[in-house]
Structure 1
Amino acid sequence: MKQPPPPPFLSPSASTAAWVGFTADTLLAIGLMLVLSLFAGICLALFNVSSGQNQAAPGVLAQMLIAIVATGGTAAVLYLWRRRATAAEKAASLQAIHRRRTWVTSVLAGAAVFVGSLVVSWLFSRLSALPAPSNNALMQQAREQYPVLLVVFAVGLAPLYEELLFRRVLFGRLAAAGLVLPGIVLSSLLFAVVHEIPGLSANSWPGMLQLWLIYGGMGAVFAWLYQRTGTLLAPILAHAVNNGAALIMLMLGLSSG
């Protein structure tokens, strides 16, 4: 099997530029998420007022729409503005998509992430009470009220915009400069923190650390897969497989969230 060439030697200036770019991308992502979340929340609140609805807190549908606008919008803006694929990258990705190995590796990686998450959760459950992810209540309500939309959201939309942001933009910024390992670590850490935000999570610090380990491991596998295959479709597919398997368990009542 042909191995990818070793990363080129980085001059101090090139390495510094990569770190500056990554820092800027991260700060822009945080700022855009906050602004777009606020914008979407205000629009939904105005819509509720105009339609005569009076909700103290956004419902499950509103929360999903806010997530799509905030994270999806941030991913789209940063991709188009900061990390748009070049013609060469698009050609390499197309070649990778036509390789059967890419599809097989992606599906296996998604299954491995799902099984690994179950194993880690089981191990922690032997030591202490397993923390509930912050999106637990949202998934449960969506299962009851909007099952079809939940499938589209969890298996289709979320893997697409999360991989575009965390793997293409953030991990890709450092990986393109040869800083693959730091890119995997930092992008996975950010991926974990976004899913379980300190101050907003109802879990204790030990509980958040457990969930960060699961989400961080997931992000690391997806980043490795992106680097290995050369196409963003691979981590998107693996992410969808993982989410789909978790969703099946939720639908069957075999998982609490």
Structure 2
Amino acid sequence: MEKLSQGLEWIGRKIWLLLRIFGLLVLAVLPDLILEESKSQTALVMAGLVTLGLLVFFWWRAEKNNLPVWDPNILTWDGLAIVILAFAIMQLTDMLGYYLLELQGATTTENDASIIEFLKGVPFELALLTTAFLPAIAEEVILRGYFFKKLFGSQAVVGIIVSSLLFGALHGPTDLASWLIYGGGGLIFCVLYHKTGYLIYPIAVHFINNAWSVVALYYL
């Protein structure tokens, strides 16, 4: 009877954690929902303020739930080398994915195409906030912190696989190449977090990747 009670309690904790993860995912898309409704000056300001608030909120939630974000060592040569190496591996994965897309006669993923369309009428600074800063922090806290670390605990291998697939799925892949690009990115982020123990490393790589895309879209 005691084992049954413990089992039910364990299931209850996991279900509650999944509900929290879902709630955090909903919060993370609030700026997008605002901008989808309108791109008026008021909506742009509101989306910016909400995004800034969410950045603070997600960082705070991570630290409060024993998911350390900041590691001072990231500013050392070793820390920077880790970020650069992970980013380089991610670029190689993306290059392979986009090569496969070209073989299919496509030039970009459906997700990228929808982002390009969505950002029309959005100032560069706000695009950087909503498309680079927020996803980098929110998605890493939710998927690497809560989903991988909290939900799977010591089952690291299973957690890495499932969280990588979930990350890929959330980006709406429509073909194998898209799965490689987004699932591969999720895998790199998750392994990076698992090896370092700090969210700032996948956040940094995630941000650099997204920020470069935003800069390229607006200025190149």
Q: TM-score, with normalisation over the residues of structure 2?
A: 0.71
Out of 201, 205, 213, the position equivalent to 1:246 is: 213
1:132-211 equivalence runs, <5 A = 132-134=109-111, 136-140=113-117, 142=119, 145-174=122-151, 177-196=153-172, 207-211=174-178
Matching residue of 1:231: 198
- For the residue of structure 2 that corresponds to 1:85, the secondary structure is coil
Over residues 113-146 of structure 1, what are the superposed CA-to-partner deviations in whole Å (9 max), with x where a residue is unaligned?
A: 1332132111232134356333534435536540
Q: Secondary structure at the match of 1:101?
A: helix
Give a deviation string over 1:19-59, Cα, whole Å, max 9, x none.
76555423332245448868995xx69xxxxxxxxxx9433
Give unmatched runs, 5+ long, in structure 1: 1-12, 46-55, 197-204
**Counterpart Cα distance in 2 of 1:30 and 1:102:** 32
1:30 matched residue in structure 2 = 22
Structure whose CA Rg is larger: 1
How far 1:164 sits from its partner (Å)? 1.0
Provide the alpha-carbon RMSD of the alignment: 4.2
More helix by proportion, 1 or 2? 2
Task: Give the direction of change, closer, same or farther, for the CA distance of 1:110–1:40 in structure 2 (3 Å limit).
Answer: closer
Q: Does 1:100 find its partner at 2:77?
A: yes
Say if 2:66 is the partner of 1:85. yes
Amino acid at match of 1:147: F
User: Does structure 1 retain, via aligned residues, the 8 Å contact 2:39–2:121?
Assistant: no
Residues 166, 191 of structure 1: 8 Å contact kept: yes
How far apart in 2 are the matches of 1:231 and 1:187?
Answer: 17
- Listed one character per residue, the Cα deviations across residues 171-216 of structure 1 (whole Å, up to 9, x for unaligned) are 11255x32111111111122222222xxxxxxxx8x2554233211
The count of aligned residue pairs is 213
Query: Are 2:140 and 2:203, in contact at CA under 8 Å, matched by a contact in 1?
Result: yes
Q: 1:77 to 1:241 in 2, by over 3 A?
A: closer
- Work out the percentage of aligned pairs sharing the same amino acid: 23
Aligned pair in 2 of structure 1 residues 105, 99: CA closer, same or farther (>3 Å)? same
Q: Corresponding residue for 2:94?
A: 117
Select the residue among 9, 32, 38 that pairs with 1:58: 38
The runs of 5 or more residues in structure 2 that have no matched partner are none
